[in-house]
Every structure is written in structure tokens, then in C-alpha cells.
Chains A and B, each alone.
Chain A
Amino acid sequence: MPIYFLKRVLYVIPIALAVSFFCFSLVHLSPGDPMDAVVSPDAPSEVVAMVQRAYGFDRPLPEQYGRWVLRAVQGDLGLSAANGRAVTAEVFSALKNTLLLAFAASLIGFTLGCVFGTLAGYFQGSLLDRLVTGIAVGGVSVPHYWLGMLLVIIFSVELNWLPSSGAGPGSSSDWNVEWAYLRHLILPAVTLSVIPMGVVTRTVRAMVADILAHEFVEALRAKGLAERQVFRHVVKNVAPTALAVMGLQLGYLLGGSILVETVFSWPGTGLLLNNAIFQRDLPILQGTILVLALFFVMLNLIVDLAQARLDPRIQRG
């Protein structure tokens, strides 16, 4: 048993290295000289050479990569090409907002998904089931950036209940969460929640229906168990998978929030990334993607380990 856990944990290392390599290559995938973003092309050649040396662009690529990884391990992802601030600080202050948004969206999506899925699974084939299934398909099919616009139109423009963009005044640095901040969080979180809502609904519905069709449930009922106890049984069987699906969804949201963050100008990693792309701020681009991907890898690891813990069959697979 510990061998599986150890193997799974160690497997993260090559993946993390590959991810870092991918992020490093991104800069070299992009057309043009990575220097262009730092110095204007018409700068005098000695200035270019100096900056080149400062950034290490004059070294051979493998060496550049090695240095980059070494510095990244120490938490140094370089300086933003646009404003000269430390990439690490920029990314992590944005990550705070993205995490909060993703957690809020997951919470909403998971709760709704579980309720909808259970109802549909219990009343399989009914009108309610069909309605819920429709909502679920809608949730995974809707372009969420468009849904965000719809919500803004309804709740900000027409009803004027909620703010349509930004994160309120006290958003930038501290973890101090205030009402103004939460008000700004509501619309993006609801928008983003439809994806996990759809996915969780589908999973839970399929599993509940499957378990209820099993003979052991009939046996339980035959033994005279109350419906409440049968329900506990269903929950026990569905919960691990639903949680695992949710864990992965949380990861997808971390990366997937970019479009929603753009719609609502939510100051998270997505907006940071979007700005970095258009300012050709490659260190920020690189750093943001690296941090998000590593976060996703760790989340996958946690989900896998938790699942293996709950379901011993996985370890043998």
C-alpha cells in the first residue's frame, strides 16, 4: 500500500520537470526575439547586449533552462518585462483571487450538482430527470463567457443589484474578505459554477441510478431498512467519486477561469495572463502558466491519493 503512494508521489517529479520544460519552451515557440518585449528594437546595440546578458539570453538554451529551473525552485521566476516587478509576487497575488473564485464556483457547482444529480437519479425517467439532464447538458455546453455577459445584463444593467466588474476596493493584497469583495465575487462565481454543476450532476445522476438498480439496495429495502438508511448507503457509495470529480473540476476552473475573469475584469491569474499575452510579457506568461500547471498537478495528486485511500481497488489497477 505505501508503495503505491510513494510511486504516485514520485511520479510528480518527472511531470513537473516536463511541465517546466514546456513553459520554458513557450517563450521560444513565440515568433520574434524574446528580447523584443524587453528592449525596443531600435535601441543601441550595446544596450541590447547588456540587457541580453542581464537576462541570460546570450547563453546556450540548455543552460538557460537549467538556470531558469534552479531559480524557479527558489521561488524566483524573474521580472515582468512590462513593469519590472517580480513575477512570483504578481502571480501569487493574482492566484489568491483566482483560488477564491474557483473555490466559490466549485462550492456552488458541487452543491447544485449533488442535489440535481441525486434527484434525477432517484426519479430516473421522470419529467424532473429530463429537466435536470437538460440543465446539466446546458451547463457543460454553454460558453461561460457569454453566460457571464447575460448575468451582467440581467443583474447589473437591468436590475442594478450587483457590480459587473473588478473586485472592489480592498481586493489587491490582503486576505481580508469584505462584503464589497464578496458582492463582486457573486456573478463570476455563479458564471463559472455552471461547468462543475453540469459535470457533477451527470456523474451523480449516473451513479445514483446505477446504485439504486443494484440488487443490494433491494435487499436493504427487503430487510425493512428505512428509506433514510438506504439514502445513507447511496451517499456512501457516491461521495468518493463525486468528490474526486469535484477535485479535478476545481483544477480545471483554475485554468479555465481566464475567459470569465476577462469578462468581469476579475484580477486573477486569467486576467494577468490575458494582459501578459497582449503586452508580450513573456516572463509573466511563463510564470503564470507554470504556477497554474503545477497547482493542477498537485491537485491531481491529492485527488488520486484520496481516492486510493477510499477505494483500495485502485492501488492494484
Chain B
Amino acid sequence: MSLTLDGAQADAPVPAPVQGYWGAVFGRLRRDPVALVSGIVLLMILLAALFAPWLAPASPFQTSMLNRLQPIGSPGYPLGSDELGRDVLSRLIHGARLSLLIGVMPVINAFVIGSAIGIVAGFVGGRTNSVIMRVIDVFYAFPAVLLAVALAGALGAGLVNSLLSLTIVFIPPIARVAESVTTQVRSVDYIEAARASGARSLTIIRRHVLGNVLGPIFVYATSLISVSMILASGLSFLGLGARPPMPEWGLMLNTMRDAIYVNPWVAVLPGMMIFTVSICFNMLSDGLRSAMDVKL
């Protein structure tokens, strides 16, 4: 224990390195091995998705009635072939595009819409806030999976409808978090000080509220990507999302369901991909949460 008096030091200048907030967060994230590995894996899958046409050894649509359900390691089919004789490896690589898109997009949409709703509700407060939050409460009467299936089922099968229903599923939780964070920030003195300087509400939200609430909301939203991946592919698995012959992991899992009796280890590969992406997002989100010191 040192014997310095806190009071004596209080007014002395503190030498601190000039480092932005995000720089510090990134630095902490980089020292977290789990988050780092997750991030790298995700990055590789993302790159594979972007460069799928160049990486994939074969066309994801080329069927071959002679080479159906080949096992892993067959010549020309490194990861086997599916029920129509298409190359599974190529379909997995191409499938990353659609699977990532329909898994991540709903959360991005919901992040934008839910944040807007929650921040406005929290900032305005009072009766407006109560009304908005009561409406949000209604959505909490449905378990997420049920809501997604109900909406997708009612809207009809299809990619756009599955995107839409998952977006609706994730707006309420994000709006709730945004509202609670904004309500906390709103009553802090620096917002009062900004109002006292004559700034209008929109300016205050833009310059003072956003910077302090978007971080926590973002962290929360990243934690939803994992669920979103599972649900999006799940909808495809049920036949409510992507349609054949599009390569999408959930749909591939569905079409190869009967193959578990013939060639089980090929049939489970798409699920392995969903699992990998989902768990990596989960761990990256956990790392981000502690790196940003967010408590929700």
C-alpha cells in the first residue's frame, strides 16, 4: 500500500495517453484470446462468403444423379455430395452468403429501428414513453421462436418474409434496452447542461445521447446475432425461408434430413456451420461486452 493522500493529488494533472474510446476497446478485445479466435473464425467465414465463386471447387447447383450422397472424401467431393449429387463443400461455401445475410440482417435492421424507437421513447419520457413501451410489452407475450414462426407462417414462406418477421422479433428487445439506457442518460447533468446552452432536442440526441447509448445497445444487439442465426436458418429448415435450390445451411440441413440413414456425417455439416457461426458471435459479443464494460 502506498501512503499517498488522495486529496493531495486531486488537482494535479494526470498524465494520460491520448487514446480514443474505441481504440481502447479494440485493444482490450485483442488481448482476449477467446474473442480474438472467434473474430478470426468469423472473418474467415465472411471472406469465404465474399469470395465464394472463386473459392468453391464446383458449382453449388450442378446436380449429378450418378453421384448422389457420396461420403466425405470421395474423389471430386471433398465433403461428400447431397441428395441431388451436388458438391456439399461448394454449397457450404456459397451457403455462407445467404445464411449470414438472413442471420445478421434482421439484427442490423432491428438495431436501427429498435434504437430509434427506444431512444426517442426514453428521451421524451412521460406518457409517450409509457404508450410505446406498453406496445412493446405485447410482443413480450410471445416467445421469440413462436413469434418468428407465426409471422413467417402468416406472411408466407420466402426470404423477404423471413427477414421481415425476424426483424419484428428483435425490435422489441432492442427497443427496451435502448429505452432503459436512454432514460438513465437523460437524467444526467450533462444533458441538462446541453439544454441549458440552448440546444434543441435533436442536437442533444445527436451530440450527447447517441454517443453514450449506442455502445451498450450495440453490444446487446451483437448478443442477438447468435439467436438470429439459429432462427433464420431454423425458418429455412422449416421451409419458411430460403427456397430450393438456393444454398442455405438451414435449408440444406432440411433437404439432407433423410440422408442421415445413408450418410449421416455429410448430413450434419450444414448444422456444424450454423453452430460455429452462432457460437463465435456469442463469444465475440461476450468479449465485446467486457471490453466495453457494459452492464445491462
Contacts and interface: CB of A to CB of B under 8 A. Distances in A.
B260 A15 contact: no
Interface of B: 134, 137-138, 140-147, 149-151, 153-156, 226, 229-230, 233-234, 237-240, 250, 253, 257, 260-261, 264, 267-268, 270-272, 274-275, 278-279, 281-283, 286
Contacts of B137: 15
Contact of A143 (B144, B238, B257, B278): B278
B143 A142 contact: no
Given A145-B253, A258-B145, A273-B150, 10 more contacts: A26-B154, A146-B268, A146-B270, A146-B275, A149-B271, A252-B143, A255-B146, A277-B153, A277-B238, A285-B153
Interface of A: 14-15, 18-19, 22, 26-27, 29-31, 137-138, 140-147, 149-150, 152-153, 157-158, 251-256, 258-259, 262-263, 273-274, 276-278, 282, 285, 289, 292-293, 296-297, 300
Per DSSP, chain B at the interface is helix
Contact of A254 (B138, B143, B226, B281): B143
Nearest to B142: A293
A15 B138 CA distance: 6
A206 B153 CA distance: 38
Nearest to B137: A15
B145 A255 contact: yes
Contacts of B151: 26, 29
A27 B144 CA distance: 19
A276 B283 CA distance: 37
Contacts, number: 139
Contact of A256 (B138, B143, B275): B143
B272 to A, nearest CB: 8
A296 B278 CA distance: 26
Contacts of A300: 140-141
A94 to B, nearest CB: 14
A292 B240 CA distance: 20
Nearest to A248: B143
A81 to B, nearest CB: 14
A289 B279 CA distance: 29
A263 B253 CA distance: 11
Contact of A252 (B145, B281, B282): B145
A218 B237 CA distance: 52
Contacts of A292: 142-143, 146
A232 B272 CA distance: 41
B11 to A, nearest CB: 33
A29 B155 contact: yes
A152 B256 CA distance: 14
Contacts of A137: 279, 282-283, 286
Contact of A145 (B134, B155, B237, B260): B237
B146 A293 contact: yes
Contacts of B144: 252, 255-256
13 contacts: A15-B138, A22-B142, A27-B154, A143-B275, A145-B234, A153-B264, A254-B143, A258-B146, A259-B238, A262-B238, A277-B149, A296-B141, A297-B141
Given A145-B237, A256-B144, A273-B149, A140 B226 contact: yes
A141 B282 contact: yes
Contacts of B281: 141
Nearest to A26: B154
A152 B138 CA distance: 37
B226 A141 contact: yes
Contacts of A146: 253, 268, 270-272, 274-275
Contacts of B253: 145-146, 149
B199 to A, nearest CB: 33
Given A141-B279, A262-B238, A26 B141 contact: no
Give 4 closest A-B pairs by Cβ, nearest first: A146-B271, A255-B146, A255-B143, A277-B153
A153 B239 CA distance: 22
A179 B66 CA distance: 44
Contact of B153 (A158, A251, A263, A273): A273
